[in-house]
Structure 1
Amino acid sequence: MHDFAPHVAKKRFGQHFLCDKNILSRIVEYVAPRPGDRIVEIGPGEGALTLPLLRAAGGLIVIELDRDLIAPLRARAAGIGELAIVHRDVLEVEIGALAAGDTIRLVGNLPYNISTPILFHCLDHAAAIADMHFMLQKEVVERMAAGPGSKTYGRLSVMLQLRCTIEPLFDVPPGAFSPPPKVDSAVVRLVPLPQDKLPQTDFPAIDRVVRAAFGQRRKTLNNALRGVADADDLAAAGIDPRERAEQIAPAAFVALARHLQAKG
């Protein structure tokens, strides 16, 4: 048995370790891991969620950047199941390659300071992902699930909703973590859409339009998209040039991107 000094959470890694047993149990229930599932956990920390997942699935891949957490994690997992540790920044990990020709299930209490880049990184590998269960800042989960007309609706909402179904599961108070974050958190489930439900348009092309539209969200689209699309382009996509980005449904952004691509 190894004795490891208590780990001090590092601010630069955005570490807040989930320690509430009831919350942990609820997450495991929602994930419902089965033997043989290829589960990848992002940011396992001290292993509070890792060990029950490992116990249920028999094997687990974890991605951890903080080298000080790796030896204690390996020791805690000994005898429970087969734990593979990828010691890297998740943004540099080829997530699709971890699927090894199968599909993976992603789980994680994501570091809040880089949660949006992680979500976009996962989207790049959505074809290899069966589902994702993430703990995030509650405000981010609200943005992910927001619809047109909502003040929280934005680029994240559009780009995620074009690739996944999004289901907020439950809220988590700051006291469930050590150290407690200054914000409320929430658990969300994302399920990538099947190929035939995806837009038949290049995602970088859609993202260019969406990014420009929400880059100046207070302006009408006619002004916000100046240099990207003109009033005729907007009309061809069925969009009123006087509307603002937050009023436009994801499908309309796809129609505009498709029109611009066809126009060349």
Structure 2
Amino acid sequence: MTSPTSLMSEARALLERYNLSARKGLGQNFLIDRSILDKIVSAADISRSDTIVEVGPGLGVLTRALAERAGKVIAVELDRGMASLLRETMSGLSNVEIVERDILETKVEDLVNGAGYKVVANLPYYITSPVLRHFLESPHQPQSLVVMVQREVARQVVAKPPEMSLLSIAIQFYAVPRIVSHVSAGAFYPPPKVSSAILKIDVLPKRRLQMDDEAVFFKLARAGFSTRRKQLVNAISSGLDLDKARGSELLLKADIDPKRRAETLTIDNWLKLLQSYKERVV
């Protein structure tokens, strides 16, 4: 078994060899703990029939582990230096494709040529939410995502009422998330200033709504969370530019107490509110 020390040495040697360094602006913290690497790969439940999309592969430690199990690994790297390193170090692996691109500017269906896929990544923390939404909101969703994220972000994603947030709504609308394991800062080089967690997100087999209705659903959710800890009737009325009586009517029609707060609502509550809104406003 490879020790953390040897993975640390490997990371330093690669950075020195290619005259590179971890770029703080790109959120680069390289995984150097084999036990954590194994937990990520195990949680992803990979077989030879799977196509894996990895975002931010960095030095390729996770990429190589994924390639041992998957049929194909598409590693998307924004950093030109890292992409160049990966093309050399992964050149002997026929099932690995290095794509130098911004994942947020990439159509997922084009990336995987319309094939089914899973996402596995040690995500740059500064783009965690946009990346998760990019995949989940895509017309071509993944089967699942296993991602390393900040521990606090993971806690928000899996939250239940009365601690829901716009982020937890955005993920749980499409999927069922759970925390696989917490991860200390010492599992990375250089170590981040925050603790981390491995998050498994199982995407629902069928979308809850048509995409046009999804847009209206999130319009309502954004209105509800527009002012934290505010009564829903006030937040909804203000966010949707409705008078308070109309806002109260919408909530009551959806069997929601107007004095409740957005943090207390379930996904089903929001879906009922959507139906009320479509019947009375749209």
Q: Quick check: 1:58–1:80 contact (8 Å CA) kept in 2?
A: no
Cα shift at 1:96: 2.6
- Greater shift, 242-251 or 79-88, is seen at 79-88
Secondary structure (helix, strand or coil) at the match of 2:143 reads strand
Aligned position for 1:45: 58
Alignment partners' CA distance in 1, 2:25 and 2:80: 13
Q: Quick check: 1:98–1:104 contact (8 Å CA) kept in 2?
A: no
- Greater shift, 122-131 or 225-234, is seen at 122-131
Cα separation, partners in 2 of 1:144 and 1:17, compared to 1, 3 Å: same
Cα shift at 1:6: 5.1
Alignment partners' CA distance in 2, 1:81 and 1:22: 26
The 5 A counterparts of 1:1-264 are 4-5=17-18, 7-125=20-138, 127-150=140-163, 153-195=164-206, 198-199=208-209, 202-227=213-238, 228=240, 230-263=247-280, 264=282
Secondary structure (helix, strand or coil) at the match of 2:17 reads coil
Cα shift at 1:12: 1.2
- Which portions of structure 1, spanning 4 or more consecutive aligned residues, are displaced by more than 6 angstroms? none
Cα separation, partners in 2 of 1:128 and 1:219, compared to 1, 3 Å: closer
Alignment partners' CA distance in 1, 2:199 and 2:28: 19
Q: What residue ranges of structure 1 are gaps of 5+ in the alignment?
A: none
Q: Quick check: 1:145–1:157 contact (8 Å CA) kept in 2?
A: yes
Secondary structure (helix, strand or coil) at the match of 2:130 reads helix
Alignment partners' CA distance in 1, 2:139 and 2:119: 10
Cα shift at 1:191: 1.3
Q: Quick check: 2:86–2:98 contact (8 Å CA) kept in 1?
A: no
Cα separation, partners in 2 of 1:106 and 1:126, compared to 1, 3 Å: farther
Cα shift at 1:220: 0.4
Cα shift at 1:7: 2.8
Cα separation, partners in 2 of 1:164 and 1:126, compared to 1, 3 Å: farther
Q: Quick check: 1:91–1:121 contact (8 Å CA) kept in 2?
A: yes
- Greater shift, 8-17 or 51-60, is seen at 51-60
Q: Quick check: 1:90–1:118 contact (8 Å CA) kept in 2?
A: yes
Cα shift at 1:171: 0.5
Alignment partners' CA distance in 2, 1:39 and 1:191: 14
Aligned position for 2:4: none
- Paired AA for residue 29 in structure 1: S
Alignment partners' CA distance in 2, 1:36 and 1:72: 27
Cα shift at 1:86: 1.7
Alignment partners' CA distance in 2, 1:210 and 1:233: 14
Q: Quick check: 2:109–2:115 contact (8 Å CA) kept in 1?
A: no
- Paired AA for residue 142 in structure 1: R
- C-alpha deviations, 1:180-235, integer Å up to 9, x for none? 1111100011111122x624671111111111111212210111111426100110
Q: Quick check: 1:220–1:243 contact (8 Å CA) kept in 2?
A: yes
Secondary structure (helix, strand or coil) at the match of 2:274 reads helix
Secondary structure (helix, strand or coil) at the match of 1:51 reads helix
- C-alpha deviations, 1:29-62, integer Å up to 9, x for none? 2223221311110100000100011122243111
Alignment partners' CA distance in 2, 1:42 and 1:126: 19
Q: Quick check: 2:123–2:148 contact (8 Å CA) kept in 1?
A: yes
Q: Quick check: 1:99–1:128 contact (8 Å CA) kept in 2?
A: no
- Paired AA for residue 198 in structure 1: R
Give the length in aligned residue pairs: 260
- Paired AA for residue 159 in structure 1: A
Q: Quick check: 1:44–1:62 contact (8 Å CA) kept in 2?
A: yes
Q: What residue ranges of structure 2 are gaps of 5+ in the alignment?
A: 1-13
Secondary structure (helix, strand or coil) at the match of 2:146 reads strand
The normalised TM-score by structure 2 is: 0.87
Cα shift at 1:126: 6.2
Indicate the RMSD between aligned Cα atoms, in angstroms: 1.8
